[in-house]
Amino acid sequence: MRKLIFAGTLLICAGVVACTSSQLATATETGMILAGKDPDKARRVGASVGQFAGGMSKEISLDDEVALGRGISLKLLEMKGGLHADNELQRYVNMVGHAVAERSDRPNLKYIFGVVNDEEVNAWAAPGGYVFITVGTLRELESEAELAGVLAHEVAHVQEGHMVRVLKKMQVQTGISDALKATDSDYEEYGQSLESGLRVLVENGLPWEMEYEADTLGSEIATLTGYKAEGLRDFLGKIETPDDDDAEGGWLSHTHPPVSKRIESLGYHLDGKLAGFDGASQEERFAKYVTNRLAKK
């Protein structure tokens, strides 16, 4: 019964983010009444949920976005082994990262790029312009164009506010749970803190449609920067496995769409909007600052 009330609330107001606070309050109240709850309690809970959702519907300020991204980044670095010790490598990745960021739709953000001391093939973008790539990913790359493609993919996540949008939706749903828990101890199992919400996000990743969008927009950003349009696709081709379902970790895990599907999707875009662009690859410069330096470690 408890699950039916909570699920019914979300179904009545399908797509939490799209609902107004008053609609969400009414949906919560109606769901509880339909489940046989006391009408007075239902009205109190509905009002609480509506007030919470009203606050979450407001646009997050830039200062709050940066602060959120900074906090997520600190936790991420703690989880993943910290930053790589090679300062020259860090400077080079920041140079390429800032070059592509300047061609994004949010060039005025103070982007920070970092190489994480982790051998998993992965990269992340936190709100506010924090972008990280692993040593394991750098070992798979063979050109600056491929590096630019990966970093531009992450910059696209920041540009489109993907993580902020997901977190806002999660917080609205958490707010419903917390409001119910505050008035009925039976809802304790649904209560979640922001800490656990962030942990779920890191483990589960972003919705796949956001990953496809970041692939497309990232390739466009890298191309506008002057790099070979196929950089990201070339990299994906290197890490593709015979069976994507058997892959583990990072960009090869369930947190991202199957690599084969991403390559296929990018192919349509490269043959269409980005056809005919002849950009740079910069293999020698990449080898100097990345491949050769990592080989010495």
Domain ranges of the chain: 1-58, 62-162+205-295
Contacts of 11 (CB under 8 A, 6+ apart): none
Residue 38: pLDDT band (50, 70, 90) is: low
Q: Is the pLDDT of residue 192 over 60?
A: no
Of 163 and 35, more confident: 163
Q: Tell me the pLDDT tens digit for each residue of 131-179.
A: 999 999 999 999 999 999 999 999 999 999 998 888 777 665 554 444 4
Task: Tell me which of 11-15, 151-155, 278-282, 284-288 is least confident.
Answer: 11-15
Question: Cα(214)–Cα(204) distance, rounded to whole angstroms?
Answer: 17
Residue entry with tokens 């920067």: 225
Q: What are phi and psi of 134, to 5 degrees?
A: -85, 160
130-134 and 112-116: which strand pairing? Answer: parallel
pLDDT for 203 equals 74
What is the distance between the alpha carbons of residues 114 and 91, in angstroms, rounded to a whole number? 9
DSSP state of 190: G
Please tell me the predicted confidence (pLDDT) of residue 116.
Answer: 96
Dihedral angle, C-alpha 98, 222, 120, 204, nearest 10 °? 100
Q: What is the pLDDT of residues 89-139, one digit of tens each?
A: 999 999 999 999 999 999 999 999 999 999 999 999 988 999 999 999 999
Burial string for 113-125 (b: 16+ CB within 10 Å, else e) reads bbbbbbebbbbbb
Kindly state the helix (H) or strand (E) to which residue 130 belongs, with its residue range: strand 130-134
Average pLDDT, the chain: 77
Lookup result for tokens 């008053």: 22
Whether 209 shows a pLDDT value over 60: the answer reads yes
Q: Which of 75-79, 142-146, 240-244 has the largest mean confidence?
A: 142-146
